[in-house]
Structure 1
Amino acid sequence: MSDGTVTAPAAAGPEPTRRNRKLDQWIAFWTVPFFFTVFAIVFIPLSGMMPPSSPNAPSGQILDFMHSRDLLIACALLVLTFGLAPLSNAVYLIHVKRMSVSPVLRYSIMVGAMTGAIVGMLFPMFCFGLGAFRPGYSASTLAMLYDFGYLAFIGSLGCFCVMWMAFGLAIILDDNGVLPKWLGYYTVWQYVTELMAAPVWISKTGPFAWNGLLTFWFAIVLYGSWQVIVYVCIFRSIRNQPDDELENRWPVEGSVVRP
């Protein structure tokens, strides 16, 4: 007669296998180029937000830009795909977690990504989209939204500077060799240059204006090349990650799950 005790079998069955246990990580990884492609379409040909117009643009040019119907289409497209942005940061954070560094660096990257996306992506979208949504706004209101949008977009890079500075330091201090050390030094150097965005709040003309040679063009060339290099290094890190480091464990066959 049974006393109601549930016992596990003497020998557990073999652990189920999956052909590619990194499939979920690869799916998240391959959304990154898709999102950045949509991001580029939204900000360059569709809305014309990039390259940025001059802070000293004439009133007529500002009004034409803010009244563009394409701005609303761009905002709708960005809203539909904005949720993919955290996936790229999540893929990076998975590999920072593998490093022999303090969690404070990982949390700094995570919080910096959240604050940077709000100020550097959502604020410009709402400013420019708001100007196009209702054409009855006065010229002075549209000019304020125009300034607000570009100052948020170009002048808020301090969030990303701290975020990727933590990423670079994590790579440099890591003893596990998750990512190459040179990438850490390159990352720190690259994001020190983002400090050049600060003068956009002071300069309306010249190389330090929000459309200037140093503040925008130099920074965007460095950022674009750096982003491609990081993407390739993360690809290699995923490919080389041992299966025993993966956290998506399968339950053992025959084990008893108690309520």
Structure 2
Amino acid sequence: MNRENQPLLLKGRRGDKQFARKIDKACIIAGYFNDLLLFGGLLIGGYLPILAPTTSVDDVLEHYRKWERGIQICGTMWVFSGITYPFFASAVSKQLKRIPGINPTLVTAWNMASMAVTMLVLIPGLFMCQAAYRLDRSPAVTSMLHDIIIIYIVVPFTPLAVQGWLVALAVYQDYAGDRDPSPSRHLFPRWVGWFSLIAPILMIPACAAHFVYSGPLAWNGVLAFWIPAISFGIQVNVMSYASFSVIDKELDHEQESLED
């Protein structure tokens, strides 16, 4: 290759890389917007605090009539999370691929779990839109739609657990393969792995919400809803922060490949 053309080609590649990093950062920021859409929507829609499971069908209908416009807005916000979460998850997936020697199966599983999480947010959002669309129907119908919405929000924690434990396993694999703690040799710090391991464990009680009607394991209880919801919010923010921080980070093995 003509040496005179090499600097121009390298400059073009660097420019492309910088543009790609800007896109990655924008996608990571979508993770923060995702939490804003979900939790902000719940506040606007009157879902926080969640109605107790023992609430009568007539009281549920009255609640939906009172919060009709807010529930419609909440449903729309949750539907829009179908945009923010895939962008966020895709950007995290790209950073996971940078971990030296990472098993591609882990990245594939992360992507599949991300698709499941997206659907688990879209579906209750659509049910919110449906529940608030016709409030002249039987109270039993509105109450049933409300139950479906809450069950979808609270119970299915498993895709989130898959994501967290995959990140923990990826970080463990990174450090197990190279005992050198130098930041230039590892993408994510160890604490990201430990947090990703523990956060899903705190969500496990949510799977019992459909067994009881009162107490901490009920769908409005501290163990079934509040702790898992906070854990999910923090988990997304932790991965957003950690991934955003490493986008511009050049690892030693990446520098070596560029020099070759």
Give the TM-score normalised by structure 1.
0.81
d(CA) in 1 for partners of 2:251 and 2:219?
45
d(CA) in 2 for partners of 1:229 and 1:125?
24
Q: CA RMSD in A?
A: 2.6
Instruction: Compare CA radii of gyration and give the structure with the larger one.
Output: 1
d(CA) in 2 for partners of 1:95 and 1:222?
22
1:193 matches 2:188: no
Aligned residues: 238
Match of 1:5 in 2: none
Bigger RCO (CA 8 Å, 6+ sep):
1
Query: Comparing 85-94 with 222-231, which one deviates more in the overlay?
Result: 222-231
d(CA) in 2 for partners of 1:220 and 1:90?
22
User: SS in structure 2 opposite 1:124?
Assistant: helix
Give the CA deviation at 1:154: 0.2
Q: Is the 8 A contact 1:66 1:128 kept in 2?
A: no
Percent identical pairs in the alignment equals 19
Give the CA deviation at 1:74: 2.4
Change over 3 Å in CA distance of 1:224–1:70 after alignment to 2:
closer
Query: Comparing 60-69 with 142-151, which one deviates more in the overlay?
Result: 60-69
User: SS in structure 2 opposite 1:133?
Assistant: coil
User: SS in structure 2 opposite 1:240?
Assistant: coil
What letter is aligned with 2:5?
A: A
Q: Is the 8 A contact 2:30 2:88 kept in 1?
A: yes
What are the ranges of 5 or more consecutive residues in structure 1 without an aligned counterpart?
Answer: 1-7, 247-259
Match of 2:59 in 1: 61
User: SS in structure 2 opposite 1:36?
Assistant: helix
What letter is aligned with 1:49?
A: Y
Change over 3 Å in CA distance of 1:167–1:197 after alignment to 2:
same
Match of 1:28 in 2: 27
d(CA) in 2 for partners of 1:53 and 1:29?
33
d(CA) in 2 for partners of 1:65 and 1:124?
17
Match of 1:48 in 2: 46
Normalized per residue, which structure has more helix? 2
d(CA) in 1 for partners of 2:30 and 2:250?
19
1:128 matches 2:121: no
